[in-house]
Each structure stands twice: as structure tokens, then as C-alpha cells.
Amino acid sequence: MSTSTIADQAQTHLATTARRLYDAEVALHIARQSNVDAWIRAAGDQLHEAVLAHSAAMLAKPLRSPAE
């Protein structure tokens, strides 16, 4: 597998986790408006998982040289 393919896959994974993070933030906002504790707790748990996944994707992303 070429380096650019690995970098492209990492970028795609990063974009996917970023979207998941955004969606989880929105879900938590909506859950808070519901005032249903179980929904808020579940949305908070999902946000926590999304933060961890996005952080891991950020750390795993290969660095590209400025020329690329």
C-alpha cells in the first residue's frame, strides 16, 4: 500500500470521526433541552466516545510534508 493511500485513509477516518464528534455534540444539546436525565447521560456518553475516537484519529494521522 502506498504512503499516499495510507494518508488518504487516515484523512477519511479523521473526517468520519470529526463528523461523529459534531453529531454527538448536537445530540447532547438536543438531549439537554429535553430535560430527560437518561437521554442527557446517554448523549454525554456518546460524546465522550466520539472525543476519544477523534483524538485517536488525530494522533494516528500521518504527517505530510509541506510539498504534498
Q: Give the pLDDT mean for 37-56.
A: 97
Q: Given a cut of 90, is residue 10 above it in pLDDT?
A: no
Q: Please give the Cα distance from 61 to 7 (Å, whole number).
A: 7
| Confidence band of 47 (pLDDT split at 50, 70, 90) | very high
The pLDDT value given to residue 2: 61
Instruction: Show me where the domains of the chain are located.
Output: 3-60
**pLDDT single digits (tens) 13-42:** 999 999 999 999 999 999 999 999 999 999
Q: Locate 48 and state its grid cell.
A: 465522550
Query: Residue 56 pLDDT > 90, yes or no?
Result: yes
CB distance 6 to 63 below 8 Å: no
